[in-house]
Amino acid sequence: MRTAYLEGRSIAALARDHSVSRGAIRTAVADLLPDHAAAAEDSPAPELPVTLDMPGKVADFLLAAELELAERAALDQGVTARRGQGYTLRVSAVPAVHLRLLTRCQPLDGGPGTPAIPAQRKARREYENRVIALTPTGP
């Protein structure tokens, strides 16, 4: 039946030949129907890479940290731009990677037993604002 459908037989003709309803034929050849591709579009679309500027203080911290393969690759492929006394790393990655990088640089805010360095805290906040701007719900 599937072969006949692929050879150009209509659903109605196949239903008559096999004495079943057209719905039964549609079910049998569902993955071959053009409308089937539209149903697959309900699944989430793949995320596209987004380019964000990461302050150098955040990049330095993350480059010294243990990262997953995708995170490390995103940082390694980043482009450095000099900015005054420091630099900015232009990182291109999917939003999920940016969110994971943001999570990994939380220690820059300081915590129990570790003092926060104001410049690092400010740099992390700047990166956080950029990441939040690209996600509709935020982290």
The domain spans of the chain are 2-40, 50-134
- Whole-number pLDDT of residue 38: 47
Burial per residue of 80-117, b for 16 or more beta-carbon CB atoms within 10 angstroms, e otherwise = eeeeeeeebbebebebebbbbbbebbeebeeeeeeeee
Which pLDDT tens digit goes with each residue over 75-130? Answer: 999 999 997 888 999 999 999 899 999 999 988 888 777 788 899 999 999 999 99
Which pLDDT tens digit goes with each residue over 9-68? Answer: 888 888 888 888 888 887 877 766 655 544 445 556 567 888 999 999 999 999 998 989
pTM flag (> 0.75): no
- Whole-number pLDDT of residue 136: 64
- Whole-number pLDDT of residue 113: 76
- Whole-number pLDDT of residue 90: 93
**First-to-final CA distance of the chain:** 50
